[in-house]
A and B are shown apart, each in its own frame.
Chain A
Amino acid sequence: MVSDWMESARAWATAEHILPLAQAAGLVLIGILLARTVGRLVERIGRNRFSAQQTMILRRILFYGILCLFLLSALHPFVDLRVLLGAAGILTVALGFAAQTSVSNVISGLFLLGERSFVVGDLIRAEGTLGFVESIDLLSVKLRTFDNLYVRLPNENLLKAKIENLTRFPIRRIDLQVGVAYKEETGHVREVLSRVADRNPLCLDEPPPLILFRGFGDSSLDYQVSVWCKTENWLQLKTAIQEEIKEAFDAEGIEIPFPHRTLYTGAVTDPMPVRIVSGSDEEQFAAETESSPLQEE
């Protein structure tokens, strides 16, 4: 049985069969090598001329394009390409039904690339994840979070989700909520806040810092301080300016209040009864309180 099979294989493996096979294998090999070389070349040339995103797209188009051309050329002696293309059409329909999610992701990926809401290297917040865009692939977008996690977000979800791009524009605003005690003079507070913003070199002079009086809070007069900075300096300024506000308030004797609660004893006009306990009365008072019905409850 085995010897029959070996015999027929030997008969088939004549020069006329081996040669086209070797040619096809050679073509595929050359195709892979050429596609990789061109990909690397594009990456090197594009580094200084294009954005990371454009380079990535160009590299992929060239890589898969070259590979497809060489594969088709390799298949040409064995398969009629017209039949192959026809079969590919039917196969696509079949695959479309079988792989709806994947196809949906691919199409969503194309829309995401076309829309350019974000590019490789941007810092985005999507579906509750904040991270730098590592790559925008056919099926998913890969993010690297600040704690160095690798997060994969399917394109289909991203197309429907709200995406915040934190690095799209070169400057950003920081909004801080600051509360001061009711006894403070509003003009003085405003002057101190303006001075803090003016003194920090990371805080942009233009657009000017905004100091808004937001209203009368439960325990404080509420202000909003909005300052602009270079996007890269956002975190640094946000930390620094809050510390500087605290230091300036301390230096100027401006109180940052904590929530106040006023208790009353039921009658609006009567004062709350207070019993002063001192010295030997303390033990007696403690004994009385322990045995009181309220404690037992």
Chain B
Amino acid sequence: MDAKERIWWGRFSVPLHGGLGWRIGPFELGVFREDREYRIHHFRGEDPLSDVLSAAEPREDVPECPEEWSALRFALGEAGGTVLLEPAGPDRTVVSRPETPLGVLPGERVDLYVSTPLWVRVYAGEAALPIVDLPSVRISDTWFGRDTREGMLCYATRTAARLHLDNLPLRPHRAVTKVTVENRASAILQIERLNLPMPSLGLFSDAAGHLWTASVTIRHEERSGESAVSLGTTPGREAGEANPISEPRESPHKGLLQKGLGALLG
């Protein structure tokens, strides 16, 4: 599959009384256009690791929504025939738990590659507002906090926390985040879980059409025993000359970085 075939996002023209269909991993989406109306049909398959991809396949009719699918309708004054489809990061931070805990030796600096499921957004109308913002995979909820009273609600995923990018399967509905961990303390740093601030990371596409998020760097300090986090503006050199595709959902503010992400490593 070449780079062009991997690109499922962008601006698409939807025919009147017809539509376009996408299969992005386990997520299936149909965008149909009637007079002054858009119909969205969507379905989430069972296999979260599916890497099926087909983009903007034309349909010449507006079918009935299949029983196990969900349907949405949007009325527009003069339904323009163009929609914008784009990937977006999750709307909460994502806690990735390595399948096997990883220890970073004192004084070492390592790069980990973690992939996270993405959301699919559809923009329509003159105001170009997102009419649909749906997860490609329904990720399990989790709690990240000191106790059951204080903390934040996140999504949970399992990760292999791979040290080599070549070993990481790249899927159309997931984005890769390069996490650099620097252990400046004198003791081994055990990484049992990583809380990635996905809503604050922008998305990029590399030359091969794979999706990346901006990189994250964590420095574990000796004195405070806490981790300082800095969010990059690009995915890292592995992604080559990456093009920005979508903005972060929210801009990281200082309080969030200090409180929420200071305890990024569990």
Contacts and interface: CB of A to CB of B under 8 A. Distances in A.
B212 interface: no
Contacts of A56: none
B139 to A, nearest CB: 7
B139 A201 contact: yes
A252 interface: no
Contact of B140 (A170, A171, A204, A207): A204
B95 A170 contact: no
B134 to A, nearest CB: 14
A198 to B, nearest CB: 8
B69 to A, nearest CB: 18
A229 to B, nearest CB: 7
A169 B141 contact: no
Interface residues of A, number: 16
Contacts of A200: 140
B95 A169 contact: no
Given A170-B153, A171-B153, A230-B153, A205 B140 contact: yes
A244 to B, nearest CB: 14
Enumerate the 4 nearest inter-chain pairs by beta-carbon distance, A residue then B residue, closest first.
A205-B156, A205-B142, A201-B140, A206-B142
Contacts of A221: none
Interface of chain B: mostly helix, strand, loop or mixed? strand
Contact of B143 (A202, A204, A233): A204
Interface string A16-55: 0000000000000000000000000000000000000000
B224 interface: no
B148 A206 contact: no
Interface of A: 169-171, 198, 200-207, 228-230, 233
Contacts of B140: 198, 200-201, 203-205
Contacts of B139: 201
Interface of B: 95, 97, 138-144, 148-149, 151, 153, 156, 193
Contacts of A228: 143, 148
Given A169-B148, A169-B149, A230-B153, A204 B142 contact: yes
Given A206-B95, A206-B156, A201 B141 contact: yes
A25 to B, nearest CB: 52
B148 A207 contact: yes
A230 B156 CA distance: 13
Contacts of B153: 170-171, 230
Contacts of B143: 170-171, 204, 206-207, 228
Contacts of B138: 201
